[in-house]
Structure 1
């Protein structure tokens, strides 16, 4: 669905990371883990994950890693964005029972979609734990927001904040029934092997069209086939994909 978003606010939340709050043209419920394809100027659209949804307000959080995201980060209140979405699937929160022990694991810019996911799970009475991984202290964001929802552990690769090391340094597989994760492929590949019964991975991938037409974001499956990250995902059961 195509719609025009209006910028409400913009702020820097960490080094190189921008939070953009926009007003939806058509308010709607959005499953956590889905994304929007945003266009700024004549450039290709950029897939941006959704960090929060509040009726007609939608929050994006992204890193400035190129011209497109740099232009998004320069937008001001009342500027508009040509948006396509929400696209893709989301985390299966309706299938998670309040008695199940859930851990959400995010790495870097894979953290934002897990915030809305945890918000919705907690609202359903599910007790959650979050493990958030960053490179260094200056790249940490949303720590307090996650802590307000449940137990949260932050790890940094260089040990300048929280637990030193990668997210696996804080993971206790025997303590969880469900794993929900989003982050870089090496992190997801490691989590894929963890002995947790139910594992769902949100894959970060380069996208072209965002609707499954261009085959720019395919991912291999164990049977030798392919799935499209944008339309079949970005969330998959861990056993459905080869990373």
Structure 2
């Protein structure tokens, strides 16, 4: 992990309250970034927002030496970030946290399950899996049709099922409903999204091998402040989401 000054090279609204931002980065750092890791970003200049914001890596382009992030504007911090203009620099710690250990797995078919802003890191993961010759099926959930993004990008990689809470697009209901309906065949599952969704997925797929990535507000982002801990099921005490995670084996931690 290093501190980087990255330049905003593009910015677009891709769904309701959802911003895609591409940042230039040191090529050496781009080469080591892996799916599941995140940037810890200073969202504004000055002292308006002292705490950095963790934002998952949605894509890496080695040829352009760029990293793409996708975030939802849900508070003053992310609002300040989306107001930053093309050509401005952003201060970030990168890459942070653990990644999905796909290179060490005996993997032919993968099921990716994402909800809302948990979808972006799974896109980066899907690309890496395809490069390894893995067959990818993605189930991605959103609040409504207006919130859906990256459906076409996932279709270019494998099979995609879109779910919306209100049924305004794709399947209606929960991502777990689609898993039942489609009888998807897979070796491992990989999931990222709201805690409630992760709990439901981990419970439904408890007899399968899988990994989850936890979305969590953080303090320091480097494991020093204990602001983002979660109870461990494998050893006494807690795991630090920013350092031991955000990626964990399913059922390795207690989701509350």
Short-chain TM bin: over 0.9
Q: How does 1:9-28 map to 2 (within 5 A)?
A: 9-27=10-28, 28=30
Q: Which 5+ residue runs of structure 2 have no aligned equivalent?
A: none
Deviations 1:46-95 (A, max 9, x none): 10111000011100000001111111111221100001111000111102
Q: Which runs of 4+ in 1 moved over 6 A?
A: none
Residue 180 (structure 1) aligns with: 190
Q: Is the 8 A contact 2:176 2:204 kept in 1?
A: no
Q: Which 5+ residue runs of structure 1 have no aligned equivalent?
A: none
2:54 pairs, out of 23, 44, 47, with 47
Q: Is the 8 A contact 1:7 1:77 kept in 2?
A: yes
Q: Is the 8 A contact 1:37 1:210 kept in 2?
A: yes
Alignment length, in residue pairs? 242
Question: Is 1:76 aligned to residue 88 of structure 2?
Answer: no
Q: Is the 8 A contact 1:98 1:124 kept in 2?
A: no
Q: Is the 8 A contact 2:107 2:188 kept in 1?
A: no
Residue 212 (structure 2) aligns with: 201
Structure 1 window deviating more from structure 2 (139-148 vs 171-180): it is: 171-180
Residue 95 (structure 2) aligns with: 86
TM-score by length of 2: 0.91
2:204 partner SS: coil
CA RMSD of aligned residues (A): 1.3
TM-score by length of 1: 0.96
Instruction: Give, in angstroms, the shift of residue 97 of structure 1.
Output: 3.2
Structure 2 distance, partners of 1:176, 1:124, is: 15
Residue 35 (structure 1) aligns with: 38
Structure 2 distance, partners of 1:135, 1:3, is: 34
Structure 2 distance, partners of 1:197, 1:14, is: 33
Q: Is the 8 A contact 1:103 1:130 kept in 2?
A: yes
Instruction: Give, in angstroms, the shift of residue 193 of structure 1.
Output: 1.2
Residue 112 (structure 1) aligns with: 120
Residue 225 (structure 1) aligns with: 237
Structure 1 window deviating more from structure 2 (71-80 vs 155-164): it is: 71-80
Q: Is the 8 A contact 1:98 1:125 kept in 2?
A: no
1:129 pairs, out of 132, 137, 143, with 137
Instruction: Give, in angstroms, the shift of residue 239 of structure 1.
Output: 2.2
Instruction: Give, in angstroms, the shift of residue 224 of structure 1.
Output: 4.7
Q: Is the 8 A contact 1:182 1:201 kept in 2?
A: yes
Q: Is the 8 A contact 1:11 1:19 kept in 2?
A: yes
Residue 189 (structure 1) aligns with: 199
Structure 2 distance, partners of 1:192, 1:164, is: 20
Structure 1 distance, partners of 2:184, 2:154, is: 22
Instruction: Give, in angstroms, the shift of residue 177 of structure 1.
Output: 1.7
Structure 1 window deviating more from structure 2 (188-197 vs 200-209): it is: 188-197
